Structure 1
Amino acid sequence: MSGGASSPTTSARPGTGGSYKRKRSGAEFESSPGSGGDDNEDEGERRRQPGVKRACNECRQQKLRCDVVQDPFTTCSRCNRLKLECKIESNFKRVGKRSKHAEMEKQIERLQRNLQRAQNLGYVIEDEEELDSPMANGVYSRNNQSFMGSDEAVSSLLHLKQGGSYMPRYAREIENVGLTQEAIDHLFNEFWCYYHPYLPFLAPGQTPDQYYQQHPLLFWTIIAVAARRYTADPSLLTSLIGPITRLLWSTVGEVPSSHYVVKALCLLCTWPLPTSTTSTDPTHILCGVMMKTATGIGLHRPSHTQDFSRVSVELNKEQLHDRVTTWAVCNIVAQSIGTGYGQPASTLYDWTLAIRPGDDGPFVLSPELEARLQIERFCDKVSKEMYSNATDPRGVAGDELRAMLTRVYRREYNELQVSVLSRQDLSPIVNLHLKAAGLHLRLSAFFDSSTTPGYMDDLTGLWRAVLAFLDLVFELESPPADNMSGNILRFASNYILQMINAACFALLKLLSSFFAREVEFERGRILFHRTIQAIRSMSVINNDLPWRLAELMVQMWNGARVEQRSRQQQMANNGNGNGNGHEARTVVDDSLQLKVRCRMSMSLVFDSIWRWREEFQAQGRGNLEAAMKNPTNPDSAAESSASSTHMDATLMPPAHQLQNQLLVAAGAVTPNHGLPSSSMISGSIGYSESNYEVFDPLNWMLDGLVDFPYSYAAIQGLEANGLG
């Protein structure tokens, strides 16, 4: 094929004349957004019809013959017949029909979404008949071949009113999602009230416009975090997932050089966009991007930023303090992600974050962040010393060394607790993270063998750490009437959710073992049930990870027949007692030891799910999938007693989310009268590599351990936003 290539914006190739143009198909004309050969066409028309100098705009748009006369000007017969405005403009450009139709369709979809959102906000339609007309949905001006904007169309045709005033225009838009200034102000206020206390490093005094000017990703991230519980438009978060994800990765792909992008990444790592499995959860990757971006622009050396820039940078005291604070938050977030995901933390506690008593310069953090940084430093020590052993293929320290480290860090934790709790200017959220750090330390007890010195003491310490953490969670969730800090779980960070999960699994494992005789079983059972309810309350989208985790834990509780076995064990102990009324001695075994040991303190969570999967393989996949549609009630395990019926109801899902049905009715659990020992929770299940395709609510947790062909539909609504 000779000649130059066809231009992407024109229909004719360079160097060709009008004879070539007349051979092209009509489809090619329609797909062209503009006509690059209009002059050639006009020249041909002038040669064929000596009295016609140039076709009018309307005839040129349709590529029809035109009999307009320019001097004296006489309207062409077609415009006269169709009552069109006949005129000739030298700069007129044709509008391709396909591009016109595509833009009209986009405009219609956009206006329909705007209308739906306006109705959700309480606006009413003054004249619904106008909405049935295509012109009302996509306003198109025939004379100038242009579209009216969505704001203009809404104000001129839809006539949405609330209290006599027209619907305000959208102040900010991202792809197909628009927000009014009122909605933006509301969302920002919710962020400052409910989310900011968990990570207080942004400036509430700045306006939303200032945050948008700093970087659009930071602005929309704040909006997305606040939209998690936005009652005025519950669908807003789902609508934002796709656009914000695309904005995020396009920003990362451009190699960001602004510390405002780092701030946005801190928020996205603390409150990730919802997902049903973490096989699609990019939080751990984003954490690495956050730290590398921070060091790449010199946040860890804020007083020498020019060393990381091509130009000289002079920072005032306020700007320097802002960068120091951002760097501290980066390390706090990175450590919490390392702890919560059971991965090595990419932290860097350097000179910039060193404690300098008596200093009041820009390197001094707020009391809240300083305390949080101390707590995360402690978690970093525990992780590195206990789970980074270079002589062990799984990185776990030996039993004797771990026992010694536990005693050392137990004393250090007590000192940290005294230091933090002695301060009166800290929020209860700091204490919550302190209790989470204590749980992180004590979860190492599951790595011990029954012959480890002080084994029962370590288990007792773990039990107390679980109770201390969960008791504080529920104390903050249901505060006194004069305390306005309640309902913290609705706004809690992903790290708090992960630690609640670990505490719940620890309760389940301890209450299903020999150790149940050493503790107050009824208190543990009640706390377990309340924790399930709490995890479900942290769900922000139907069938997201918290909801599926809660369902999994209920199935494990029922499958292990925890309460039935506890009663049988109690009866056996009473029968084996001696004549003096003393109970038989507890038989200690290795059933609490973990097989999954590479995920630090979170190994308990991964190990429990592994055992659950092994236990339920024989039941097949189909019946278990029904459990997500009909969440499980413990009564369905045919083991409830009069003493537990009233508490089991707390495991039922809220009525506004899903209808309550028993799993037995759905066929998901078959009553088992000959229950074996606690194989699902204890250590009697071995690893196998059978390729059963069972329902696995958390298949991501076992990625890389064994090749299972798992698949599960993503959260409803995510596919519609380009994330399926």
Structure 2
Amino acid sequence: MADQQSGSHALEASGKPSRRRACNECKQQKLRCSLTAADSQHSNVCSRCQRLELECKIESNFRRTRKRRRSHDLEIEVKELRRQLVAYETNTAIRVSPSSASPSNSAHSLHANLQATGVSARRASGSFSGRVGNRAPGLTTQPVIDLDQAPTAPLVVPPQARSLDDLELSALEIEELFATFFEHYHPFLPFLRPERSPHAYYELSELLFWSIISVASHRSQKPILLPRLASSVTDLLWSTLRSIPYTLQSVQSLIILCTWPFPTHSSTADPTYTLAGTMLQLAFQMGLHCASSAQEFTKVPVLLSSDDHGEWGATWQACNIVAHSVSIGCGLPAIAPLQECSLPSVHGAGATSRDLSLRLHLRIEQYRHRVSVALTPSSFHSGREPQFAEQERLSLYRLLQSVNGDLDREVSLASPSSITRIYLSAALLHLHSFYLLDDPSLSGYTDRIVTLYHTAYSFISRCIEADKRDGLFQHWPFFCYQAFVAASLTTLKILMSGRFDSTIDVSAGKSLLNSAILALRKMSIANNDLPARLGDVVGFLYSLPRYGPSGQPTHSLSLRVRNRSSMSIVYDSLWQWRRYFQMSQEVDTSGPDTVFTSEQFNLDLDQFGLGDGFTFDWPDGGLDLALYN
């Protein structure tokens, strides 16, 4: 009643109706306000605000302010909903294939998940705003809270074409390449989740997506696909490494690119060892080595589900496997000590065959690391008496051989795959390769060299049999091919030295070397890459006569290169190979008997069992003498 009388009085005084105005509080609640333009000149409080003790004021830009506030609240809610969707995808691992999910079904599923997560999202948003509003007054320094780094990929990602620079792949090509990767490459190091769709991988990380595509393109029918990917993915890799902080997918990408690197023609141009070190540094910064305490390494709340813990654990195991196998294959020191205390247990309830394969591979790598630490030459140059050091070395051989027997029994009980058996055989070759660094006068030297020959022979035979059965050589990892090269050159050195003809089968050894050279060519991905060139090196050294022009043995078991661990035999053979070509180019200053020319080594290869299919590139044909320098 009072409001009506006040309005009528205003009408009588002015002779025309007063323009009504509403305060902010009444506008927001869409209620009738008793405040008018006339009243606002004398009284700035409406009856409702006065009764409820609210702040009564009128803002000309209230609508715009409210609209901006609503827009900001909506953005926060959308981000929270997206985070909830990613968490839901991680926990349920749902994959909707293109053939079984129509766009309408995908939209319905997305809408249902939005409804399911909307309430929790609003609660989370409200609780966060409450915490912000209740900060203690007077704080001048407040912590910088990083934004949530979780990807904003929706649960169901429709298949679509993807592009990188000027390269574009259709959805069908992407599906085929991913299927190739998980069928042929992933079994060598099974640490990823095959049930995740290719396009979900793209939303998680472009680098991881294109790394998988690159590996699957090694044997692509499109000859230009891999070279174009090599350039673009390498640029994407370095740009990603410049972006901090890093994600789990960044580490996984480096694992893939270190296991199946892009083809290169020289080890000096190969960044695999460097990338493996970067991979471990990223993993340490993320707290990947202690997933249960990952919160201590980030300012963003980290809540890992059981599936997340499994993925983190598998990635950390793969990091250690790749880092130490690459360092052994390159003949260089370990990038970081193998922290066995921080590694997941090899045995666990609910472990799948894929998990068991990865864990057995890790156990084998732990053993190889132990061998490297115990037998590295620097361990015996610390002021000990030579005789004492030799006896200690023999004791270590016996101890490590016993440990290898225990490991062999452990692997046998687990019903390993042929790939795991190859890894175990490579570990034994790693141990026995140190025999070449022994003093020939040491007790039992001849027996150990014969044992090394049989170990290398067995490793090559096992690999060739597995390739005939499963076609493994076309998808061979980097560290497997390095071990294969070491085994081939070890067999060659011992076979061609002539000292063991009475104890080994020479004809079978020559036939096996022929198969090994063909296998290296089969591992080759691109023209003149490292596997192809090393196959030519093995063939060239095999074509040399046992004795040179001066009557000296061509092949000697006394290594000139001795600081490359178990790979010293490889680098010593490459030193010998380069030396022949360098001598053929030198000016003859010591007489014709000491100068080697390309014509002198243009031998009839049939007499060495190589056949007509083997040719060698000479220096004038563009051969790079910087290989493995």
Task: Say which SS state the counterpart of residue 294 (structure 2) adopts.
Answer: helix
Among 375, 381, 400, the alignment partner of 1:386 is: 375
CA distance in 1 between partners of 2:397 and 2:380 (Å): 19
- TM-score, normalised relative to structure 1: 0.59
User: In 1, distance between residues paired with 2:431 and 2:246?
Assistant: 37
The one of 474, 487, 490 equivalent to 1:490 is 474
Determine which of 269, 278, 300 is the counterpart of 2:289. Answer: 300
Contact 1:270 1:333 in 2 (8 A): yes
Mapped partners of 1:363, 1:321: distance in 2 = 11
* 1:336/1:173 CA distance change after superposition, 3 Å: same
Q: Does 1:652 align with 2:617?
A: no
Match of 2:303 among 280, 293, 314: 314
- Structure 1 residue aligned with 2:175: 185
Q: Which amino acid aligns with 1:601?
A: S
- How many Å apart are 1:216 and its aligned residue? 0.5
Other-structure match for 2:545: 561
Unaligned runs of 5+ in 2: 1-158, 588-597
For residues 505 and 394 of structure 1, the distance between their equivalents in structure 2, rounded to whole angstroms, comes to: 33
CA displacement 1:68-113 (0-9 Å, x = unmatched) = xxxxxxxxxxxxxxxxxxxxxxxxxxxxxxxxxxxxxxxxxxxxxx
- Which of residues 560, 585, 588 is equivalent to 1:620? 585
Helix, strand or coil for the counterpart of 1:202?
Answer: coil
Contact 2:251 2:283 in 1 (8 A): yes
In the alignment, which residue of structure 1 is the partner of 2:495? 511
CA drift of 1:367 comes to 0.9
Matched, 1:264 2:264: no
SS at match of 1:637: coil
Distance 2:532 2:627 in 1: 15
Instruction: Supply the distance in 1 between the matched residues of 2:229 and 2:554 (Cα, whole angstroms).
Output: 51
- Asked whether the 8 Å contact 1:621–1:695 carries over to 2, the reply is no
**Distance of aligned partners of 1:220 and 1:508 in 2 relative to their CA distance in 1, 3 Å threshold:** same
CA 1:595–1:308 in 2, change beyond 3 Å: closer, same or farther?
Answer: same
Distance 1:367 1:553, change over 3 A: same
- The Cα offsets for residues 272-319 of structure 1, whole Å up to 9 and x where unpaired, read as 111111211111010011000001000001011110001221111111
**Which residue of 2 is the match for residue 215 of structure 1?**
205
Out of 397, 407, 415, the position equivalent to 1:416 is: 407
Count matched residues: 454
Distance (whole Å) between structure 2 residues aligned to residue 515 and residue 199 of structure 1: 38
Structure-1 separation of matches of 2:383 and 2:288: 33
Q: Contact (CA 8 Å) 2:338, 2:369: kept in 1 or not? A: no
Alignment deviations for residues 664-698 of structure 1 (CA, whole Å, 9 cap, x no partner): xx9x59xxxxxxxxxxxxxxxxxxxxxxx997646
User: 1:477 corresponds to which letter in structure 2?
Assistant: D
Trace 1:73-84 onto structure 2 (pairs within 5 A).
none
Q: Secondary structure at the match of 2:500?
A: helix
What is the DSSP-based 3-state SS (H/G/I as helix, E as strand, rest coil) of the residue aligned with 1:178? Answer: strand
1:199, distance to aligned residue in structure 2 (A): 0.7
1:403 to 382, 394, 398: 394
Q: Please report how far the alpha carbon of residue 354 of structure 1 lies from its aligned counterpart in structure 2 after TM superposition.
A: 4.9
Task: Supply the distance in 1 between the matched residues of 2:359 and 2:599 (Cα, whole angstroms).
Answer: 43
Whether the aligned pair in 1 keeps the contact of 2:493 and 2:556 (CA below 8 Å) is: no
Q: 2:325 aligns with which of 336, 340, 360?
A: 336
Cα distance in 1 for partners of 2:299, 2:500 equals: 62
* Residue range with higher mean Cα deviation, 315-324 or 169-178: 169-178
Residues in 1 aligned to 2:205 and 2:383: alpha-carbon distance in whole angstroms? 42
Structure 1 pair 390–440 and aligned structure 2 pair: CA distance change class (3 A): closer
Contact 1:617 1:694 in 2 (8 A): no
Q: Deviations over 1:610-630 (max 9, x none)?
A: 1222233221299xxxxxxxx
Q: Does 1:279 align with 2:268?
A: yes
Residue in structure 2 matching 1:229, options 194, 219, 223: 219
Question: Who is 2:53 aligned against?
Answer: none
Higher fraction of helix: 2
Quick one: percent identity of the two aligned structures?
32
Q: Residues of 2 paired with 1:445 and 1:696: CA distance?
A: 32
- CA 522–697 in structure 1, closer or farther in 2 if over 3 Å, else same: farther
Contact 2:571–2:628, Cα closer than 8 Å, also in 1:
yes
| Shift in CA distance, 449/314, structure 1 to aligned 2, threshold 3 Å | same
Aligned-residue offset at 1:362:
9.2
SS of match in other structure, 1:405: helix
Task: Determine the C-alpha separation between the residues in 2 that align with 1:607 and 1:557.
Answer: 15
2:338/2:366 contact within 8 Å kept: no
Aligned to 1:699: 626
Question: Residue 127 of structure 2 aligns with which residue?
Answer: none
Q: Distance in 1 between matches of 2:414 and 2:351?
A: 22
CA distance in 2, matches of 1:394, 1:314: 52
Equivalent residue for 2:566? 601
Asked whether the 8 Å contact 2:289–2:316 carries over to 1, the reply is yes
TM-score with structure 2 setting the length: 0.67
From 517, 539, 543, the counterpart of 1:532? 517
Q: 1:471 aligns with which of 437, 444, 461?
A: 461
Distance (Å, rounded) in 1 between the aligned partners of 2:580 and 2:627? 18
Matches within 5 A, 1:87-98: none
For 1:110, the equivalent position in structure 2 comes to none
What amino acid sits opposite 1:699 in the alignment? A
| Secondary structure of residue in 2 paired with 1:366 | helix
Which residue of structure 2 lines up, in the alignment, with residue 439 of structure 1?
A: 429
Q: Is the 8 A contact 1:321 1:362 kept in 2?
A: no
Q: Secondary structure at the match of 1:478?
A: helix
Asked if 1 retains the 8 angstrom alpha-carbon contact of 2:346 and 2:363, the reply is: no
Rounded Cα–Cα distance in structure 2 between residues aligned with 1:205 and 1:394: 56
Residues 317-373 of structure 1 show CA distances to partners (whole Å, capped at 9, x for unaligned) of 11111111110110111111111111122243333325375x438999811111111
Gap change, CA 1:365 and 1:349, over 3 Å in 2: farther
1:446 and 1:592 in contact (8 A); partners too: yes
Going from structure 1 to structure 2, the CA distance change for 1:696 and 1:636 (only over 3 Å counts) comes to closer
Mapped partners of 1:701, 1:694: distance in 2: 19
- Compared CA separation, residues 536 and 365, structure 1 to 2 (3 A): closer
1:321 touches 1:363 (CA, 8 Å); kept in 2?
no
* Residues 346 and 359, structure 2, Cα contact 8 Å, conserved in 1: no
Q: Is the alpha carbon distance of 1:536 and 1:621 closer, same or farther for their aligned partners in structure 2, counting shifts above 3 Å?
A: farther
Change (3 A) 1:515 1:398: farther
Superposition map of 1:4-23 within 5 A: none
C-alpha RMSD over aligned residues: 3.2
Q: 2:526 is matched with which residue: 523, 541, 566?
A: 541
Distance (whole Å) between structure 2 residues aligned to residue 489 and residue 554 of structure 1: 19
Deviation string 1:9-50 (CA, Å, 9 cap, x unpaired) is xxxxxxxxxxxxxxxxxxxxxxxxxxxxxxxxxxxxxxxxxx
Q: Where do residues 120-159 of structure 1 align in structure 2 (5 Å cutoff)? A: none
Secondary structure class of the residue paired with 1:173: strand
State the distance in 2 between where 1:367 and 1:457 align.
36
Q: State yes or no: 1:522 paired with 2:507.
A: yes
The question of whether the paired residues in 1 share the 8 Å contact of 2:346 and 2:356 is answered with: no
Query: What runs of 5+ residues in structure 1 fail to find an aligned partner?
Result: 1-168, 480-485, 570-587, 623-631, 654-661, 670-692, 703-724
When residues 384 and 533 of structure 1 are mapped into structure 2, their CA distance, relative to the original with a 3 A threshold, is same
Q: Structure 2 CA distance, aligned partners of 1:257 and 1:449?
A: 48
Structure 1 residues 285, 635: closer, same or farther in 2, change over 3 A? closer
Contact 2:489 2:570 (8 Å CA) reproduced: yes
